[in-house]
Amino acid sequence: MRIQVERDVFSEAVAWTARSLPGRPAAPVLAGLLVEAVEGAVTLSGFDYEVSSRAEIAAEVAEVGRVLVHGKLLADIAKSLPNRPVELSTEGAKLVLVCGSSRFNLQTLPVDDYPALPEPPAATGEVAAAALATAVAQVAMAAGRDDTIPMLTGMRVEIEGDRLTLVATDRFRLAYRELPWKPEQADVAATALVPAKVFADTARALTGRDQVTVALADASDGDGLVGFESGEGVAAGGKGVRRMTSRLLAGEFVKYRSLFPEEYTIAATVETAAFLEAAKRVSLVAERTSPIRLAFTQGEVTLEAGAGDEANSVESLDAVLEGDDIAVSFNPAYLLDGLRAIDTLYAQLSFTVPGKPAVLMARESLEVAAREDFRYLMLPLKGQVQGQG
């Protein structure tokens, strides 16, 4: 194999592919990044039997071939190269990389032992890359981190016609986001549980692209794959394709729809930026398990954390309250996560009765109702999101 490729193009493609490589591979070859050169293009691939990634780039190919090399090492090298064309060639059991005056001789891995990458299902529809990245980030922060309950580490994806819905929960909070998309078939319907971390990393990495194609078969039992693809192939005149697949998670997701009240008795609206900054400041004195207390009265919200002889902080902001005065306490980190996800001028906290879950929503102005395409449910003080089974 002998190829030449632009440095920035090569570095970005290697970084995209190496992101999915396992830190502790089950087999040595799974630490490898597969480099395959055909006429006019090079494909870089990574796979760990759960997640696969593939990046295609244009290249000057003097000699076709394929080689397997340690992926994390290649990624570290690629991002540190000078801004000069990159030349790759094989010499026996070595991959030789030359860029300007830099030269690396890398030991290759047995390419014949590398597993074949899975093919994604047929395309289900497409969505704007930036919109998908924003929506996934708003939901992924509510997913669980405990691998002993795999279902909670996933993001539920629901497709129905031209609506794409994302939901995640760690039992103490739940994030819901709905956004429009273009389905391949008008009556398409599918559900799946996608690993939230994989989904978030992939969506963030594709932000700079125009559209993302989602490939998903209805696999509510967890037996299946989800695929994400963006870009146009080199052979068709494009700059290359980025593709990721992931195995779906098994398990029955929380029956979340019944958790959202049909109506609220109290609604408090505060300017989002001011609310977030005040919550950050007040939370500085909150211990790890200590709450941040919010007291809403007509025209004002008072934020407070800490108590007794320990450090404490109090701050007040203007607020618009519809309904009776209410005082409620939240986990500071959960409140901050929710406020960071709000991208409108105002944030609205809605309540039914004290002690019951509150719902945070985005609100464009005081003259219009809160949007319901993003809803973030939080439990006050101690509790768990119920509705499983």
- pLDDT tens column, 14-48: 999 998 898 888 899 999 999 999 999 999 999 99
Between 6-15, 309-318, 376-385, the lowest mean confidence (pLDDT) is in 376-385
Token code pair at residue 120: 């994604």
| 189-195 vs 182-183, strand pairing mode | unpaired
What are the backbone dihedrals phi and psi of residue 31, each rounded to the nearest 5 degrees, phi first?
A: -85, -5
CA 7, CA 15: separation in Å to the nearest integer?
12
Q: Which of 94, 109, 90, 107 is nearest to 29 (CA)?
A: 109
Q: Specify the pTM.
A: 0.90
- pLDDT tens column, 221-275: 446 899 999 998 887 777 889 999 999 998 889 899 999 998 999 999 999 999 9
Q: In the prediction, which pLDDT does 322 show?
A: 96
CA 5, CA 60: separation in Å to the nearest integer?
6
| Token pair 């963006």: residue | 230
Q: In the prediction, which pLDDT does 378 show?
A: 95
Task: Find out whether 342 and 275 touch, Cβ atoms under 8 Å.
Answer: no
Token code pair at residue 199: 């989904």
Mean pLDDT (the chain) is 92
Q: In the prediction, which pLDDT does 382 show?
A: 64
What are the backbone dihedrals phi and psi of residue 112, each rounded to the nearest 5 degrees, phi first?
A: -70, -20
Q: Which domains, ranges and CATH numbers included, belong to the chain?
A: 2-113 (3.10.150.10), 125-251 (3.10.150.10), 258-378 (3.10.150.10)
CA 217, CA 223: separation in Å to the nearest integer?
10
